[in-house]
Amino acid sequence: MGRSPKSTYDLVLLPGDGVGAEVMAEARVLVELVAADTGLAFSLDEIPCGGKFFLEHGSRDWPEGAEAKCSAADAILLGAVGWAGPDGSPVNLPDGKMAGWNAVVGNRVRLDLYANIRPVRCLPGTKHGLSGAFREVWSPDKVDMVIIRENTEGLYSGIGERSQDRATDLRVITRKASERVIRKAFELSRKRGKGAPADGKLRVTCIVKHNVLTGCRFFLDVFREVAKDFPEIDPDVAIVDSFAMFVLTQPERYDVCVTTNMFGDILTDLASVLQGGMGMAVGCNVGDDHAMFEPIHGSAPPLAGKDKANPMAMLLATGQAFGWLGDRFADARLVRAQTAIDAAVASIIERGQPLTGDLGGTAGSRAVAQAVRDDVHTRLTC
């Protein structure tokens, strides 16, 4: 890309609702710590957004001018949006979209963040919570894949209609959007260079329902065309429903997977089980010129205000933002910060404490975030 390090990186923070705002507060302290420990400078612009903002302001789900600030940012960090009104039902915009839509889906479409990249790794020591009991179910050496989801169209095109007796949502699959996200998947498999845990083969798995859906047949045709440019990579095809079983029963088969928008939305929540749950899973919304990083979880209203949310996904997402910026601006300090954050989380998981309840621990959200920051500080200053 030929860029050089910047003196100040402009970050927009979108805390959102519920636990989104809580984990973002911890991420903000982490960013400040990284700045102090590395000499990096960040300009932080925190923009309120989501259901609570709409309830308080009545017409918009974020302030006037937020779109332009997001466009101008070097990177965006997003907590999570989604809140319920006084009657208990979700807060929606006048057009029926979820309040918070502009920060999440709006940014993805407006900034052309066409690839939603979701790493799925099981860190050594992870205890999987099943039916209230915690034990190591999946082996860390068998889970190391990335699922890439098309992020701008598909069933989330926003095109549809509703009459008294019928509703439709138009699933749009274009050559342009398919080709660039599929190419990104092959490039990532090549860049990772380690292949699937089962056999070490570079593999890109295209997840479709081509036996039924025209859009999936088209997506798969584009996949087969792009695959020709990557002869060293095994082009693999999985039908979405059986993939939902295999991703849990044979995760070692997968290196990089690519799929359409809604399939990817669902499958990555499912795959987060391999990682220890939603509190560990990161989503990187990446385009050619902009990027937005988030935990994949929502605002988790039942956990909000209780110091219970696992902050690790948000802190790992912050690390991903540093890594992306570091590559983009050839800034080794940022890459080092990401390495330190990844290592800090991995070391706490391996040690087994402090952990929040979703990972079988009893610690609070703030204590876990502080432990991550303490470890990052040690790594960056030793």
Which H or E run includes 133? strand 133-135
| CB-side neighbour CA atoms (13 Å) of 18 | 21
**Binds ligand NAD (CB under 6 A): choice among 15, 48, 82, 119:** 82
Binding segment for ligand NAD (CB under 6 A), chosen from 31-39, 52-60, 63-71, 296-304, is: 296-304
Q: Is 259 in the site for ligand NAD (CB under 6 A)?
A: no
Question: What single letter denotes the amino acid at residue 350?
Answer: E
Q: Is 305 in the site for ligand NAD (CB under 6 A)?
A: no
Residue keyed to tokens 């989604």: 82
Q: Is 104 in the site for ligand NAD (CB under 6 A)?
A: yes
Comparing CA positions, the residue from 59, 112, 54, 108 lying closest to residue 81 is: 54
Count the residues of the shown chain that bind ligand NAD, applying the rule CB under 6 A. 22
For residues 13 and 317, give the distance between their C-alpha atoms in angstroms, rounded to a whole number: 12
**Binds ligand NAD (CB under 6 A): choice among 21, 122, 238, 309:** 309
| Residues numbered 3-22 forming contacts with ligand NAD, rule: CB under 6 A | 16, 19
The radius of gyration of the chain's CA atoms, rounded to the nearest angstrom, is: 20
**Binds ligand NAD (CB under 6 A): choice among 40, 66, 77, 80:** 80
Contacts of 87 (CB under 8 A, 6+ apart): none
**Binds ligand NAD (CB under 6 A): choice among 98, 111, 284, 325:** 98
End-to-end CA distance of the chain: 31
For residues 159 and 216, give the distance between their C-alpha atoms in angstroms, rounded to a whole number: 18
Residue 194 to residues 190, 232, 359, 371, 375, Cα–Cα distance (Å)? 8, 12, 28, 31, 28
**Binds ligand NAD (CB under 6 A): choice among 116, 259, 261, 310:** 310
CB of 121 to ligand NAD, least distance (A): 17
What would the x/- binding string for ligand NAD be over residues 264 to 283, using CB under 6 A?
--------------xx----
| Residue 83 or 324 with smaller CB distance to ligand NAD | 83
DSSP state, residue 365? H
Which residues make up the interface to ligand NAD (CB under 6 A)? 16, 19, 80-82, 90, 98, 104, 278-279, 294, 297-300, 302-303, 309-310, 313, 356, 358
